């Protein structure tokens, strides 16, 4: 019985760790994408940025 309890907790902890790492990676990639989009939009709005963007 103790072995089944240990296996249950190991699967729970492993799942939590994988979910947390996936969540961190997803949030980081989404934030980086949003920041890139905002930065590109700001560059295209200004004339000097547009020249720098299309060089």
Q: Are 40 and 53 in contact (CB under 8 A)?
A: yes
At 28, which helix (H) or strand (E)?
A: helix 2-45
Nearest to 40 by CA among 26, 54, 25: 54
Q: What is the pLDDT of residue 32?
A: 75
How confident is the model over 4-32, as pLDDT tens digits?
999 999 999 999 999 988 888 877 787 77
**Sign of the four-CA dihedral 39, 42, 44, 47:** negative
Domain-by-domain residue ranges, the chain?
A: 2-53
pLDDT (tens digit, 9 = 90+) per residue, 27-51? 778 777 777 777 676 666 655 555 5
Specify the pLDDT at position 6: 92
This prediction has a pTM of 0.41
């Amino acid at each position: 019985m103790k072995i089944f309890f240990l296996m249950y907790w190991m699967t729970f902890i492993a799942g939590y760790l994988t979910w947390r790492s996936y969540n961190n990676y997803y949030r980081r990639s989404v934030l980086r994408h949003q920041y890139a989009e905002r930065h590109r939009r700001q560059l295209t709005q200004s004339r000097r940025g547009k020249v720098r963007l299309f060089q």
